Chain A
Amino acid sequence: MDTDDLLSMTGIDKRFAGIPALSAASFSVRRGEVHALIGQNGAGKSTLIKVLTGYHRRDAGDVAFDGKPFEVSSPQQAQANGISTIYQEINLVPYRSITENICLGREKRKFGFLDWSAMHREAEGLLQRFNIRVDVRRPLMEFNTATQQMVAIARAIGFSAKLVIMDEPTSSLDEREVGVLFNVIRQLKQEGVSVVFVSHKLDELYAVCDRVTIMRDGKTIKTARMDEIEKIDLVSSMLGRNIERTEGHATAFSARDETKIGKVLLSAGNLAIGQIVQDVSFNIRSGEIAGFAGLLGAGRTETARLVFGIDRLRAGEMHYGGKVFDPKRPSDAIAAGMGFCTEDRKSEGIVPEMSVAENMMLALMPKLSKSGIIDEKAQREIVERFIKQLGIKCSGPDQKVRELSGGNQQKVLLGRWLAMNPRLLILDEPTRGIDVGAKGEIQSLIKSLADQGLAVLMISSELEEVIEGADRVFVLREGISVAEFDRAAATEDAVMGAMAHGNAPVIAEARP
């Protein structure tokens, strides 16, 4: 063991129901170092972290922390011993106040009772490091995702940890907030705190990490200094093969055959629903991928919700297939041939305790049943076809969706809508929280779906995904559609410029 090492894990084995999740994995972190941990879904990163924090018990291997053997059996013990974790899905209690979410587990006391004012002060102080000033007495659920994420981070830091593990902390943050987070990470580093940083955004790793460890199939593949390893090496080590990449191409989207794009399917004019969507116009043709670009809070998801009938329009109108379209509820949109893969897979998309087959069949159920009785055989066939077609990695149609990786959960959702034979598919952040390999697969899938004539409305916070993937890019800014670019005009500079500054609002015209 290196004397500089704060943490050293060697020969870690972990099996779930006989299937190895980790085999002889190793991982070490130096004092005051920011260490990236990357790998595809199912590579074993989360399992490794959960073994370290005592959430799972390891089957074999040694862990040393701060010079001593480290044996904990619960996240609470890990926390008490100096390891704080921020999990991928925000794990907080929405009904409770920000203060409680930050201070639960290490409450301040006065005469044996909780000292609320001291705890409020502490919560405020911790959040001020992120330049966040909010009423910490309000329930957490009243705040947006970014603030909730910052609360989770503030909570972890508040434990005066020696090691802070951040599992994809930036997935719900916008650029400015990411900057703030990086400052905090650098600050922690100066104080001698080590940070383990799990992220799928490679640029972020280069911005803030010192070293990187790459995992694949439950094994540790490589540990390297960030400044000595190329992006392409990171990706190929993760995938375990040399992937072909055209120069300057960061996604799996490739050039599209323009003749596959047909007539306008959906056109929306001056949609509005209060502050968050004020004036949004756009149109989508069949066989076209239309991209929504914009910062967090630009109103992209909210616009999609209007199209899908989840929220009701206050103003503006839509035409779909040449007719006026005014969905009152999602079932109207589904009946019209639309599908919607939501951004928040966990709470709005999948039903974790149900099987792959059941999840896939949820939307199709009414069509597949005769007088209320479900046609099992037809269901089975469809499910198996999509598992094959989408390359869903599962033990079979009966596996619980909860047990799948994020990428495969997303594919199940895609399958749910594709089973309906939709004409328009809305994809909200289709590759968020999905590892690089599965991301490419989903991107190619989207393209081939469009080639088959499906109109796709794709919302993505990853600029390259919109620019390379979309045939046309609509930029939303503060609830207003400010610009429209076709494939040739959609350069990074142009789109970012529109996102940041906005142009005169464009009126989307129906093209032949």
Chain B
Amino acid sequence: MTRSKLLSLLGSYGVVLALLLLILFGWLRYDYFLGFFNITSVLRYNSMFALVALGMCFVIMTGGIDLSVGSTAALGSVVAALFSPQGAWIGLGAGVGAGLCVGLVNATLVTRLKIMPFVATLATMLAASGTALLLADNQSVSVSYESGFTTLGQDNLLGFPIPAWIALAAYVVGWVVLNFTSTGRGVLAVGGNEDATRMMGLPADRIKFLVYLASGGLAGLAGVILAAQFGAGQPIEGVGWELFAIAAVVVGGTLLTGGVGSVGATLAGVLLLGILFNVLNFENGKGWISLSAYWQSVIRGLFLLIVVILQAKLSARSTAAVKEY
């Protein structure tokens, strides 16, 4: 039993351990890895992914998937940029609102019309991307620099990038919702056994509705940060974000079939994949080897595969141990 406990512990905290080892590796190997500039730029850049992954985490915990987050973020960035001359808050609200609209469509398709999440969000992914390109007239949309909108993406608060604070706040809220509200527990119950959840009298459809809505809103928020950070709404950004988010969620130990998951581990998953990218950049900088962006993708893919295989092995062993009782 102690052995299986150890294994299950390793299963839940493996991602944190891997993250710490990677940071240790980077710190020992590269001079400026833990330098202020590198830390803040890693956080600033990855905060967008963190927001998208948080929404994805909730969707996946219900046993669903949201493929539309990438193009929703692109749409959010364009809408935010278009509204940014009216003021920073209006730009923010418009971007998030655009994301919520996509989320609302997803939620309706999945819960009311009972369309499979994969198909429903694939459709909205295409639609959102098209809408973003239409609104932006097929080019990037410059934001207003007078309204202070760029503060959201470029400035610091107490030494840390504002996007990182936003992401952190979102994760704290996500953690509290998951662990300390009935809706949060319902999310896990729906993913674990939807029929049983309905029989238990929980509002399964409402719970699923809320997670798709939230995922859309968070993707919109990521889009706002994107626009503020790069000074322009980017209709063609966001390609592959959904895959990065799914990867981070899975690396964080959330089961793709739903029912088991963690907000904290998802954040660790985002940081792990983000910092891996960062380490590869540093390695390039050392000049020993030269890896193109394509190779970096290959390496990240392999890494994801290793994590998933390890997880499968760990969970197989710990359930085997449990079964012997």
Chain A residues close to B by CB (< 8 Å): 55, 74-80, 85, 87, 91-96, 100, 104-105, 107, 113-114, 116, 141-142, 144, 155, 274-276
What are 12 A-B pairs with beta-carbon distances under 8 A? Answer: A75-B199, A78-B201, A91-B196, A92-B196, A93-B188, A94-B259, A96-B189, A100-B185, A100-B188, A113-B181, A116-B180, A142-B322
Interchain nearest-CB distance for B112 vs A (Å): 16
List B contacts of A94 (CB < 8 A): 192-193, 259
* Docked-complex contact B199 and A104, CB < 8 angstroms: no
* Docked-complex contact B197 and A93, CB < 8 angstroms: yes
Chain B residues close to A by CB (< 8 Å): 176, 179-182, 185-186, 188-189, 191-193, 195-203, 255, 259-260, 319, 322, 324-325
CA of A142 to CA of B186 in the docked complex: distance in angstroms?
20
* Docked-complex contact A74 and B322, CB < 8 angstroms: no
List A contacts of B260 (CB < 8 A): 95
> Which secondary structure dominates where chain B touches chain A?
helix
CB-CB under 8 A for A105 and B192, given A113-B176, A142-B322: no
List B contacts of A96 (CB < 8 A): 185, 188-189, 192, 259
Q: A95-B259, A104-B189 are in contact. List 10 more A-B contacts (CB 8 A).
A: A77-B201, A80-B201, A91-B196, A93-B189, A95-B260, A96-B192, A104-B200, A105-B200, A114-B181, A114-B182
Closest to A159 in B: B201
CA of A438 to CA of B181 in the docked complex: distance in angstroms?
46
List B contacts of A107 (CB < 8 A): 182, 185
List A contacts of B325 (CB < 8 A): 142, 144
CA of A81 to CA of B324 in the docked complex: distance in angstroms?
41
CA of A74 to CA of B195 in the docked complex: distance in angstroms?
13
Closest to B198 in A: A75
CA of A105 to CA of B193 in the docked complex: distance in angstroms?
15
**A-B CB contacts (within 8 Å), total count:** 78
* Docked-complex contact B176 and A91, CB < 8 angstroms: no
CA of A105 to CA of B200 in the docked complex: distance in angstroms?
7
Interchain nearest-CB distance for A90 vs B (Å): 8
Interchain nearest-CB distance for A339 vs B (Å): 24
Interchain nearest-CB distance for B311 vs A (Å): 15
List A contacts of B193 (CB < 8 A): 91-94
> Of A76, A78, A113, A275, which one neighbours B324 at CB under 8 angstroms?
A275
> Of A76, A95, A116, which one neighbours B188 at CB under 8 angstroms?
A95
CA of A116 to CA of B176 in the docked complex: distance in angstroms?
12
CA of A113 to CA of B202 in the docked complex: distance in angstroms?
18
Closest to A50 in B: B199
Name, among B176, B185, B260, the residue most crowded by chain A CB atoms within 10 Å (CB to CB). Answer: B185
> Of B186, B191, B259, B319, which one neighbours A104 at CB under 8 angstroms?
B186
List A contacts of B255 (CB < 8 A): 95
List A contacts of B322 (CB < 8 A): 141-142
List A contacts of B259 (CB < 8 A): 93-96
Interchain nearest-CB distance for B315 vs A (Å): 11
Closest to A311 in B: B323
CA of A85 to CA of B201 in the docked complex: distance in angstroms?
10
* Docked-complex contact B200 and A155, CB < 8 angstroms: yes
* Docked-complex contact B201 and A105, CB < 8 angstroms: yes
List A contacts of B200 (CB < 8 A): 75, 91-92, 104-105, 155
List B contacts of A114 (CB < 8 A): 179-182, 185
* Docked-complex contact A95 and B192, CB < 8 angstroms: yes
List A contacts of B319 (CB < 8 A): 141
* Docked-complex contact A76 and B176, CB < 8 angstroms: no
Name, among A79, A93, A114, A116, the residue most crowded by chain B CB atoms within 10 Å (CB to CB). Answer: A93
CA of A66 to CA of B322 in the docked complex: distance in angstroms?
45
* Docked-complex contact B185 and A91, CB < 8 angstroms: no
List B contacts of A113 (CB < 8 A): 176, 180-181
CA of A94 to CA of B195 in the docked complex: distance in angstroms?
12
* Docked-complex contact A76 and B185, CB < 8 angstroms: no
* Docked-complex contact B196 and A76, CB < 8 angstroms: no
Name, among B193, B197, B200, B259, the residue most crowded by chain A CB atoms within 10 Å (CB to CB). Answer: B200
Interchain nearest-CB distance for B167 vs A (Å): 22
Interchain nearest-CB distance for A492 vs B (Å): 31
CA of A421 to CA of B202 in the docked complex: distance in angstroms?
47
CA of A274 to CA of B325 in the docked complex: distance in angstroms?
10
* Docked-complex contact B192 and A85, CB < 8 angstroms: no
